[in-house]
Amino acid sequence: MGDLIHRDSDWAAFDGLMCRVDDFQPFYKWFGPRGILTLTCIEKGQSEAPFRAAVLHKLDYENLRAAMIERGVADDEEAIIVWTKTYYYTYAKLLKAFMPRMVVMIFKKRSLQLLMDNSLEPELRGMERHKAELPVAEWTPHPLT
């Protein structure tokens, strides 16, 4: 699976890409809650080899815990994260090194397939298709909203 991704420079290769959460292992250290994720990038043109990543920001961890442990992911759903620093505005740009970066979403498997492949179910158009592509639940860090 390779090395553990934990620095911003390591995550930069996945900035803005959708990654499926295959496994989430929370752990606690003296400096607070952390977690290890096993992810697979699902964007077209990306390697589908799973990789491991560390969750070091407290709010990122809380959002993942809320999605994966408190809410849970059903058999017909998938947990997706998007790691990005591009959505910070004005004052937050100055502090983005210290800000949370993960958007956590739960999609129905069918919804994710519709989102990734426009040729799938062409009879769905307009608002019907848009509603079918929406995530079931979403956890966004507060500075991004």
- Whether the per-residue pLDDT at 145 is higher than 60: the answer is no
pLDDT (0 to 100) of residue 144: 45
Pick 13 or 79 by higher pLDDT.
Answer: 79
pLDDT in tens, 4-45: 877 777 888 888 888 889 988 887 766 667 788 888 888 766
Tokens describing residue 84: 């990005």
pLDDT in tens, 110-140: 887 777 777 877 777 778 777 788 889 999 8
pLDDT (0 to 100) of residue 92: 62
Pick 81 or 27 by higher pLDDT.
Answer: 81
pLDDT (0 to 100) of residue 31: 64
In which order are the strands placed within the sheet that holds 18-29?
4-5, 51-55, 32-41, 18-29, 77-83, 102-108, 137-139
The identity of residue 123, as a single letter, is E
Q: How far is CA 92 from the centre of its chain?
A: 20
Rounded CA-CA distance 69/80 in Å is: 14
Dihedral sign, Cα of residue 99, residue 101, residue 105, residue 111? positive
If you average pLDDT over residues 101-108, what whole number do you get?
Answer: 89
Please state the φ and ψ torsions of residue 8, each to the nearest 5 degrees: -60, -35
If you average pLDDT over residues 77-104, what whole number do you get?
Answer: 77
The model's pTM: 0.81
